Amino acid sequence: MSESALPEGLLDLLRQVDTPTVCNAIEVAQGKRGFGRFTRGTMQHSQPGTAAIVGYARTARISGVAPSTEPPEVVRARRLDYFRAMAGGAGPTVAVVEDVDYPNCIAGWWGEVHVAVHKGLGLAGAVTNGVLRDLDVIDEGFPVLAGSIGPSHGYVHITEIGSEVSIMGMRVGQEDLIHADRHGALVIPAEVIPTLKQAVETVFANERIILDAARAPGFDITRLEKAWAKFEAERT
């Protein structure tokens, strides 16, 4: 699916809202609780507070604890194939890279050089269960959501390109639509995309029932009970 296939205004809206809001909106669009295609645990964000990472996944797997057992020329060729794959696909795109050494990752694939390269290739950001480094010198405008922060690149090498990956409990396939920020990441199901904009607006409207009441002068338990009854009647 390409950017042009998204409903008008949805991409801009998704970049402006946080991932918890999108998570809630998906449940509104599905009409039920229990959506589960999101990351688990605390992750590290390279530029917290910046716009959300939104785009179609370009997937790969890496490893770095031990050297590759393949011939060096194969390793080098696969790395260039990886960059070609990352540069492909209709935008916006997001690099989603699984470190197969998790939870013992040491390889800082995401640092000054690779952030600059992926940004230059036109990707919107990256999501990984692996290591982020070079925090003080990486380019702005390419946020990375990572599993950890560390100093080394280890023996990092590409092991697979374009396959389904697992990031902190979230399964991601090539071309899945990703939303991510400092809270974590999720996969937006294709079937909710046509109604997702309306669902986000519904989430905001429902939350305002409680927030407006709680922030108004004279708020007390009686007003809370009244507002909460209305909130329960409206929300998913």
- Enumerate the known binding-site residues for Mg(2+): 134
CA distance 172 to 30: 19
CA distance 24 to 102: 28
- Enumerate the known binding-site residues: 133-134
70 vs 76, 148, 236, CA distance in Å? 10, 27, 51
DSSP 65: S
- Enumerate the known binding-site residues for substrate: 133
CA distance 68 to 209: 56
Which pair of tokens denotes residue 167?
């990031």
Q: Is 41 helix (H, G, I), strand (E, B) or coil?
A: coil
Element (H, E) at 83: helix 72-87
3 vs 28, 91, 92, CA distance in Å? 23, 6, 6
Q: What is the dihedral of CA 40, 44, 50, 55, to 10 degrees?
A: -50
